[in-house]
Amino acid sequence: MSTIFTLPTLSAALSILPSSLPFIAKAPAAKPTQPANKFVAAAESIAASSMGDKYPILSTSPLSSKETAALAAELDAIRDEVMADLGEQDALYIRRVYATVAYSEIAGRLLLVAAALPKSKRARLGLWLAGVTSLSLSKILNNMELGHNVMHGQYDWLQDNHLNSRQFDWDNMCPAPLWQHSHNYLHHTFTNIVGRDHDVGYHLVRITDEQPWQPHDRFNLLKIAFLAMGFEWAVAFHDVQISFQEYKQSDEFPTIMRQKSRSLLAKIVRQVGKDYVALPLATGLIGGKRSVAYTLTGNITANIARNIWTWAVIFCGHFTEQAHIYTHLDDNETRGDWYVRQMLGSSNITGSKLFHIMTGNLSHQIEHHLFPDLPANRYASIAPKVAAVCKKYNLSYNTGPFSTQLSQVIRRIHYFSQQTAAEKLASQQAKINKVADEPAISNAVFNDELTFTAESASKESATESATGYKSGFRFVSAQRKRFIKKLPPILAQTLAYI
């Protein structure tokens, strides 16, 4: 696999991934960690018994190879039937969603401008709330039903430039190519595999005992609140954080990181400039300072509303009580095994048709993980067939009301924020022999990477002298290095390679 990408090339390559996910990236399976002694083994036994049937963990498919082959054939038939039936109704549906996103944004922004005009405070508040509601609707639909699904390649068959996964970008801090790498490829290929699917906790919260407990996990409920409110920011930096680990042994590490970091920061500048600078100042020309304040606070509120809603839908689809976590990727995983892992690792949410549209039909998370390139408006029609397949093979089909699924997510986060009795018993041994799946990058480690970066810069400089080719790499100066060291690791990783 080549490690040199231009962003347009990466986007084009990743847009075709959903249909081939079960057959790619067959990485060596990680060997389960063996208990260091009988004391640790006993502690692990206590932990397992304390959880009961909650938070199940698997290392391989629960079905035989013959059963998974038969299951794959049935699910393939469901997919093929829908793909053969795609047509004008599907095109009309997504174009109506596109229009709704545009018109609700225009309406919302006009209402925010109008909110500054009345003399009555009650009238101003009413217009402001109406504007925020309309703008929030636009941003949620843009993020969920439009952006997420279009960038999965669900409508590439229309050959419409506005609905093409290679060209579409959403109203979100994260550039499309970076999201397609971390989500379409990594998340959908390695769903719920600890250490491979980086969406398991988003490098921030512990949601399985396969992730070693850390003292800061006590604050997981607080951290998840901040994650929910700023979810688009977490998604934006997610791929840079992943790539820092994924490519750091590559000779092209600085080049890849520079491309991703520059793309990310350019998108952030555009989004911040649009919502928090340009539009508030533009409305100020009409309604003065009051209009600036109303537009700015309206944009902030709409973005936070979109972030919280998106976080809730995503976490309810992946981290309920019965969402299975896998310890490693099976070397010999078949398409049927992959299907089973998607079904057991995902959860659905019941609700009305409007509710499903507002979730981007990710309330049918099981169907989405089985068929990520299938237009999401078809998930509701195939859900009964998928549920029947699960029942036939004695697999759980996890579904429930939004309130139930969300409460399970919160309870799961709270449960794993605490150190269990078994973990307390094994704490001394863990200090000696602790292996973290995704260790935080300390300043010491980051200093090593900066040194490596400087060495790479020297090599690139020598290459430039010999070939006359300018790579554009910026040497990390001592002053810049001291500044970067004071930043949180994720920001340091990004700024070091601009």
| Cβ neighbours for 1, distance < 8 A, ≥ 6 positions apart | none
Separation of CA 159 from chain center: 26
Structure confidence at residue 480 (pLDDT): 59
Distances in Å between the alpha carbon of 467 and those of 253, 327, 355, 470?
Answer: 20, 47, 58, 9
DSSP, residue by residue, 113-149: HHTTS-S-HHHHHHHHHHHHHHHHHHHHHIIIIIIIH
Q: Note the pTM of the prediction, 2 decimals.
A: 0.79
The pLDDT score that the predictor gives to residue 28 is 40
Chunk the chain into consecutive blocks of 10 residues (it has 498) and report each block's average pLDDT, rounded to whole numbers.
39 40 39 46 47 74 92 96 95 97 97 93 95 97 96 95 93 94 92 88 86 88 94 92 84 88 94 96 90 96 97 96 88 91 95 96 97 96 97 95 96 90 68 55 50 51 48 50 61 63
Find all residues with CB under 8 Å of 90, minimum gap 6, and list them: 155, 375, 377, 378
Residue 219's SS3 state is helix
How far, in Å, are 89, 309, 372 from residue 352 at the CA level?
Answer: 20, 16, 22
Residue ranges with strand state E in 406-478 = none
CA 476 to chain centre: 30
- Distance of alpha carbon 362 from alpha carbon 369, whole angstroms: 9
Query: What pLDDT score was predicted for residue 427?
Result: 66
Rounded-to-integer distance, Cα 36 and Cα 41, Å: 8
Q: What is the pLDDT of residue 2?
A: 39
pLDDT at 13: 39
Beta bridge partners of 401: 350
Give the closest residue to 239 by CA, choosing from 173, 312, 193, 304: 173
Distance CA 347, CA 325 (A): 12
**Residue 326: strand pairing partners:** 58, 193
Q: Which residues lie closer than 8 Å to 52 by C-beta, 6 or more apart?
A: none
* The predicted structure's pLDDT at residue 365: 97
pLDDT for res 43: 46
